[in-house]
Amino acid sequence: MNIALIGFGKVSYNLVKLIKSPDINFTTSTEDRSKNTVDLINKSDVSVYDSFSQAIEDADIIISANSPSQAIETAEKYGNSDAIYLDLNNISPKTVTEINNLVGNFVDGAIIGKIASHHPILYLSGSHAKELLFLNEFLDVKIISDRVGDASTLKLLRSTYTKSLSVLLIESYDLAKSFNLEDEFFDAVSLTEGDDFKQKSLSRINNTLKSSKRKSEELEEILQYFDGNELKMVKTALDKLKQF
């Protein structure tokens, strides 16, 4: 089986490391790619072609993992084949629908958490999703439904909760610090939220503050997509996030 990778960053690099089988051959290309990407490709067990058009020629599966801004153009260029086309970019369900109209055999994919984590989880939806169930041998694959858009909507719903909650966490932590009670605050909340609450919270606070601009953009996208729903908490979280 041939799996063509359009884009070779963290996602593709880790997928190649995870999906190790003598029956699977990965292909990609260095066409117009940066030194970083070429270095990652050279470190990996993958067949390299001069162009992406050559790399997808005998593909059974094409995986688009490049950038949200390139997802549609990639689908336009390489989606016109009989291969299964899996999009793993962080794109909104609206963009997913546009891509579904451009390519045949489309599967909507959403990586939950970081791909480099010990246990990456891949949510899939669409009528062709079951054809990718064999990936369960290598990572945790969950098929949600045969409706394209459900996987990306679920990812957005998850972000609605986690990103808004992170802002509330920062606010509560700052308040606790102002009373010099931050350790006691974590201990008290851990009683109901679990023993690893402090460690997870500090990492979440750190991540949110470090990439507050990107997180703000993601919350803006959520508000735009779920427009018409009463998302007062998300709006407030966004206002606060913009101040960091």
Ligand X SMILES: NC(=O)c1ccc[n+]([C@@H]2O[C@H](COP(=O)([O-])OP(=O)(O)OC[C@H]3O[C@@H](n4cnc5c(N)ncnc54)[C@H](OP(=O)(O)O)[C@@H]3O)[C@@H](O)[C@H]2O)c1
Residues that bind ligand X (CB under 6 A): 6-11, 33-34, 36-37, 65-68, 70, 74, 88-90, 111, 114-115
Rounded to the nearest whole angstrom, what is the least distance from the CB of residue 93 to ligand X in the complex? 15
Tokens found for residue 70: 């390139």
User: How many CB atoms sit inside 10 A of residue 185's CB?
Assistant: 17
Which residue is it, tokens 């990407």?
Answer: 37
CA dihedral of 165, 169, 170, 176, whole degrees rounded to 10: 160
Nearest residue (beta carbon) to ligand X? 9
Q: Are strands 47-49 and 121-125 parallel, antiparallel or unpaired?
A: unpaired
Tell me if 165 sits within 8 A of 207, measured CB to CB: no
Tell me if 58 sits within 8 A of 35, measured CB to CB: no
Q: Specify the residue, 23 or 45, whose C-beta has the smaller distance to ligand X.
A: 45
**Amino acid residing at 188:** A
Q: Closest Cα to residue 65, out of 147, 120, 118, 131?
A: 120
Rounded to the nearest whole angstrom, what is the least distance from the CB of residue 188 to ligand X in the complex? 33
Question: What are the start-end ranges of the E strands in 140-233?
Answer: 140-145
Q: Specify the residue, 152 or 201, whose C-beta has the smaller distance to ligand X.
A: 152
Q: Specify the residue, 54 or 172, whose C-beta has the smaller distance to ligand X.
A: 54
Q: Specify the residue, 19 or 233, whose C-beta has the smaller distance to ligand X.
A: 19
Rounded to the nearest whole angstrom, what is the least distance from the CB of residue 237 to ligand X in the complex? 21
Rounded to the nearest whole angstrom, what is the least distance from the CB of residue 173 to ligand X in the complex? 25
Q: Closest Cα to residue 241, out of 218, 215, 205, 222?
A: 215
Q: Specify the residue, 77 or 240, whose C-beta has the smaller distance to ligand X.
A: 77
Rounded to the nearest whole angstrom, what is the least distance from the CB of residue 2 to ligand X in the complex? 17
Q: Specify the residue, 10 or 242, whose C-beta has the smaller distance to ligand X.
A: 10
Tokens found for residue 61: 């599966």
Question: What are the start-end ranges of the E strands in 83-238?
Answer: 84-87, 106-112, 121-125, 140-145
Tokens found for residue 235: 């709006």
Coil, strand or helix at 70: helix
